[in-house]
Chains A and B, each alone.
Chain A
Amino acid sequence: MAIEVRIPTILRQYTGGAKAVDGAGDTLAAVIDDLEGRHPGLRDRLVDNDGLRRFVNVYLNDEDVRFLDGLKTEVRDGDSVTVLPAVAGG
């Protein structure tokens, strides 16, 4: 089961420069765990003890997973996950 995960410029140091990598799993959390096996360090940039990091946006297809089920959001073969750093400041 393959889920395409699109990686932003700032995190490509963990994917050997790749713009997109394939992951597997039934939930977003499982996909991130799966990616961590091949791209160590990536997980820590996406999640902390409280769940998704506040300044990282993760989308399942066209939806922000914060409006779905967060890390527990179910994913299916062929889904696309996009990671974007939030653009924010004061």
Chain B
Amino acid sequence: MHTEAAGSPHLAHHFPSLEQQEHAARMGMWLFLSTEVLLFTVLFTAYAVYRYLFPVGFEAASRLAHVAVGATNTVVLITSSLTVALAIYYARRGDSRKTVALLAVTIAFGAVFMVLKAYEYHHHFVDGQLPGKFYHYAGLKGPGVSMYFTLYFLMTGLHGLHVLIGMGVLAWVAARAARGEFGRAYSTPVELGGLYWHLVDLIWIFLFPLLYLL
């Protein structure tokens, strides 16, 4: 068994084949992603409960969100999902140069997203549209308004943290790709990093309508 195992430098000693090892890695990643979804589920549940308790306050407060910036960010993230998918495609074909370039573009989109997000945060801060006891915006008062901003900052904050982590993961994968570690035989880390990025994108696709449009 173990002479065969020596065939690939990426094969760990406890797996009989690289195929089985990749299957395990992929499965582990999907399970991990399900835990990430459940992490956000708490916030989605809280959103549902408080939206139900304060329908008027939430609707009024969501008008204060910057829809144009949020929409731009949605386009940015969806496009970045395309570029990361293309990176996986080229990694599997053994084209490291294109893989690295596409990962770099994806990370750049992530950075654009964060900059736009920071712009929004800045305006909310300046206007006093803040969570809980810090809320002091004179233009809108009423029950549920500060709760909207509590959830707005918690949800987008946790999501933003995930964007940053995702950028870090993709940078690490890109560095490995630049060293020529991936090719036709082995490109699992690119794929797993891509999966994570898609999740970050997917969560935003739920956050955007809930926080900006409804």
Partners in one complex: no
